Amino acid sequence: MVRALSAAALLVGSLAVVTGCDDPEAGVNDPGTPVNNCIDADGDGYGENCDLGLDCDDNDPLRALSCEAAGQDAGPVITPPDHCEPGARLPGCPCAGTEEPVDCYDGPAETMGEGICHAGSRYCIETTEGSATYIWSRCEEQQLPRATERCNGLDDNCDGRVDEGVLSSCGNCNPHCYNTGQGPSSGEAFDEPNDDNGSGVGLDEDGNLVLNRNEVRFEYLWVANSSEGTISKVDTRELREAARFDSVGPNDDNLTPGSRNYPSRTGIDLNGDMFVANRAFGSQPSVTKIYNRDCADRNGDGRIQTSQDVNGNNVIDRNDPNEFFGQNDECYAWTKAVGRSGGTARALAIDSGDGQNPYGNVWVGMYTHREFYGVQGGDGSLIQRPGLQNPVSVGHSPYGAVVDSNGYVWSGTLSSCTVVGFDPRTGRAGQPVNLGCRSYGFTLDGENRMWVGALSEGAARYNPYRDRNGNPIQDPLAGGGEQRSAACGAGRCNLRGGGADAEGRIWFANLDAVIGYRVDNMQFIGNFVFGGSSATGAGVDFNGYVWGVSSSGFTGRIDPNNPNDVRRVTVGSGPYTYSDFTGFGLRNFTAPRGGYKMIVEGCEKLDTDWMTLDAEATLPPQTRIEFRAKVAESRDELADPGLRAFGPWTVSADGVNELPADLAELPGGRFMELELFLVSTDREATPVLRGVDVRFQCQIEE
């Protein structure tokens, strides 16, 4: 192959076509002109900071890699003809003009074929200089290693690695992209959980985030005021009524608020939202969900209109439109008619949820019609599952209900002291088990044992997982479980609703007091008076205090370690609640759960594009982790209860994995509050969160 060009021009030009100091396709560098910090005085593509490497003689474009006598390893140096051995195919050596191009490569042998590096061709070219008519050219069209790695998704220096040392903190080539997070796997420790940023979580010895039931915090209990058809939200730390709502909110079922709804059982889901069953004797029963904090700005005025204690007297005035908003309150989620007219919704329990409703579903027991309806916690529609007939028929009239840690729904009844369980996944129900007492209240302890407040007879206990000899029972719905009872222990007894604490004790409402027993041996602890008359329910808050609901118009708080320390909080007219009205049972016994918050700061002076959320975790069976995010321009704005929460994004042991999550829908505020929940339906297991990573980029003005 013959090319008729000046040898010097072609030889120098052939190098520049392969690569220059700036761009492989930029052409020949002008001698002495720095390009991208490449100092190339003779224009041959070699020099200080040049991609092709150093030049041994930067004043001679025909010498670069070696300035010694030409040889097999001389590199791209033009060999004087009188130094060429016969048949040598080195640059500048003579050729006949008929030879085909030969393969060549001037870089280190180990870089050949790595990354961008590849061989080129050497041509027999016609020359007008010197004694030879034809000479071999330099190696053309080869790609040699660049002196420095560029961030472009390629292996520029041909060492087998791509973009090493030049990636952004996001792991890409965007110089304005950042990756930040917390946790050992992210290189920055989780902040120590405290009352402000965590509840029910702690750090293990390696600094990972895990469940810790001793650190659970939740501030509210919810009491149904049956006589006036309202719900009181009580702040258990500040000892005040924080809000009040109609028990029936806006709806599409022609249901109206008022005392004839006779609300009673309340339950708190894993997000802190409240559900109430409206008994509505002789008419249409219903269920209402009220948000604890995720209220929506329905009228678009930029603020959340919801009940609050404006004048600071610790009680809500229903006649003050600034304190009680009625049907205009923006914390209503929904109200739905449930069941048939006359069914009497007297039992309510919340389960640990599913992928569609991660904060729990609601099971509502109809006393008159002897059946349970499964209601989705998210939108109030009936649960639909393969093989599940909803409603589920049970063999007695449900009066109270719980869900155990294995997911079974259990109910007690009024007076006849029967207990019935069913599997909400299939609808299979067991036969009623008679405990031989007069029954009223119904609750659960941490060992999945059912407890009955047996009025004047004391308390009864049933363990569906162990027989009377302590042997395990494979099918808890089959009956035959251990039955035990305990006498009242106090002078006067009328045990009704109850709840267990985390210290191995269980408490029941008893006339004007709460009465306690040890859960292991049913030993009587004491009867602690808080006043009033006809207490209907007892529950435990997340600080370990016991609360009694008195029909006299208040709730009373008792410190079990100091029975003389009694506090009262005024609520509405005719309070009547016995159920898991604090959410303590669900979060500690049905589905152990803890929460944690972290603040991620984005771009200070530019708008923030939130990109992805990812995490590294270990998930034993029956555990999951959920993530939610809020964004605002300042830290203070993150505390706005009306700020939209995005998510949840879930990763679970059963295969659900929504990470890494795309955060493109988030607004461009500077600060993100990332709230995560560790959930386990196995009381002995905890998810282990080793790290959280958030990726964002700053918008650059063009």
Same domain, 243 and 351: yes
604 found inside a domain? yes
**Picking from 130-139, 320-329, 444-453, which range would have the lowest pLDDT averaged per residue?**
130-139
Same domain, 192 and 271: no
Residue 140 lies in a domain: yes
Domain identity same for 157 and 208: no
Classify residue 501 by burial, with Cβ atoms within 10 Å: 0-12, 13-18, 19+: buried
| Domain co-membership, 565 together with 614 | no
Q: How confident is the model at residue 271 (pLDDT cuts 50, 70, 90)?
A: confident
Same domain, 194 and 247: no
What single-letter DSSP state applies at residue 11? Answer: H
Task: Supply the pLDDT for residue 59.
Answer: 74
Which has the higher per-residue pLDDT, 42 or 262?
262
Domain shared by 263 and 239, yes or no: yes
Whether 431 and 421 have beta carbons less than 8 Å apart is answered as: no
**Residue 451 · residue 506 · CB < 8 Å:** yes
Domains: count for the chain: 3
Residues in the chain: 702
- List of residues 6+ apart from 126 with CB closer than 8 A: 2, 3, 4, 5, 97, 133, 134
Q: Is residue 549 a part of any domain in this protein?
A: yes
Task: State how far the Cα of 432 lies from the Cα of 396, in Å rounded to an integer.
Answer: 7
The CATH number covering residue 674 comes to 2.60.120
**pLDDT given for residue 542 in this prediction:** 86
Residues 162 and 190 in one domain: no
Give, as one character, the DSSP assignment of residue 589: I
Q: With respect to residue 182, please indicate whether it lies within any of the assigned structural domains.
A: yes
* 573, 632: one domain: no
What's the pLDDT at 176? 81
The single residue listed with the structure tokens 């989780």 is 190
Question: Domain boundary at 555, 582, 609, which?
Answer: 582
Phi, psi of 118 (to 5 degrees): -155, 165
| 306 is a domain residue | yes
Q: Is pLDDT larger for residue 170 or for residue 530?
A: 530
Question: Which tokens go with 44?
Answer: 């041959």
pLDDT digit string (tens) for 184-218? 998 889 999 887 888 789 999 999 999 886 665 67
551, 582, 613 - which closes a domain: 582
Residue with tokens 């709230």: 675
pLDDT of the residue at 60: 66
Which of 43-47, 362-366, 403-407 has the lowest average pLDDT? 43-47
Question: How many CB atoms are closer than 10 A to CB 609?
Answer: 18
- DSSP three-state, residue 669: coil
Cα–Cα dist 179/170, whole Å: 5
pLDDT of residue 471: 96
pLDDT tens digits, 278-289: 999 999 999 999
**Mean pLDDT across 410-433:** 97
The answer on 548 and 411 residing in a single domain is: yes
Q: Which two tokens stand for residue 119?
A: 């061989």
- Give residue 189's domain range: 177-213+593-698
Same domain, 557 and 612: no
Same domain membership, residue 229 and residue 146: no
Task: Indicate the pLDDT class of residue 640, thresholds 50, 70 and 90.
Answer: confident
Question: What does the mean pLDDT of the chain come to?
Answer: 87
Looking up residue 302, the CATH number of its domain turns out to be 2.130.10.10
Predicted pLDDT at 30? 40
Position with higher pLDDT, 243 vs 90: 243
Cα gap 285→367, rounded to integer Å:
11
Q: Please, are residues 262 and 575 in contact by the beta-carbon 8 Å criterion?
A: no
Q: Are 510 and 535 in contact (CB under 8 A)?
A: yes
**Token pair in block for residue 301:** 């005025």
The residues pairing with 468 across neighbouring beta strands, listed in sequence order, are none
Position 111 scores a pLDDT of 94
Total-model pTM: 0.68
Of 520, 548, 582, the residue at which a domain comes to its end is: 582
Count CA atoms within 13 Å of residue 485 on its CB side. Answer: 16
**Percentage of the chain lying above the pLDDT 70 cut:** 88
289-316 average pLDDT score = 92
The answer on pLDDT for 507 being more than 50 is yes
Region 80-99: mean pLDDT is: 83
Looking at the structure, do residues 1 and 63 belong to the same domain, yes or no? yes
- C-alpha span between 583 and 220 (Å, rounded): 9
3-class secondary structure, 261: helix
With beta carbons less than 8 A apart as the criterion, state whether 619 and 681 touch: no
pLDDT digit string (tens) for 105-117?
A: 999 999 999 999 9
In angstroms, the CA 76 to CA 57 distance is: 12
Buried b (16+ CB within 10 A) or exposed e, 416-429: bbbbbbbbbeebeb
The verdict on residue 587 lying in a domain is no
The answer to whether residue 486 is domain-embedded is yes
127 in Cβ contact with 135 (< 8 Å): yes
Percent of residues in the chain assigned helix, strand, coil, to nearest 5: 5, 35, 60
Q: What DSSP string runs through 492-547?
A: S--EEEEEE-TTSEEEEEETTEEEEEETTT--EEEEEE--SS-EEEEEE-TTS-EE
Q: Between these two residues, 372 and 55, which has the higher pLDDT value? A: 372
123 assigned to some structural domain: yes
Peptide bond into 391 cis (omega under 30): yes
Beta strands in 431-494 (DSSP E): 433-434, 441-444, 450-453, 459-463, 482-486
Dihedral angle, C-alpha 503, 559, 234, 445, nearest 10 °:
20
Looking at residues 328-332, what average pLDDT do you find?
A: 97
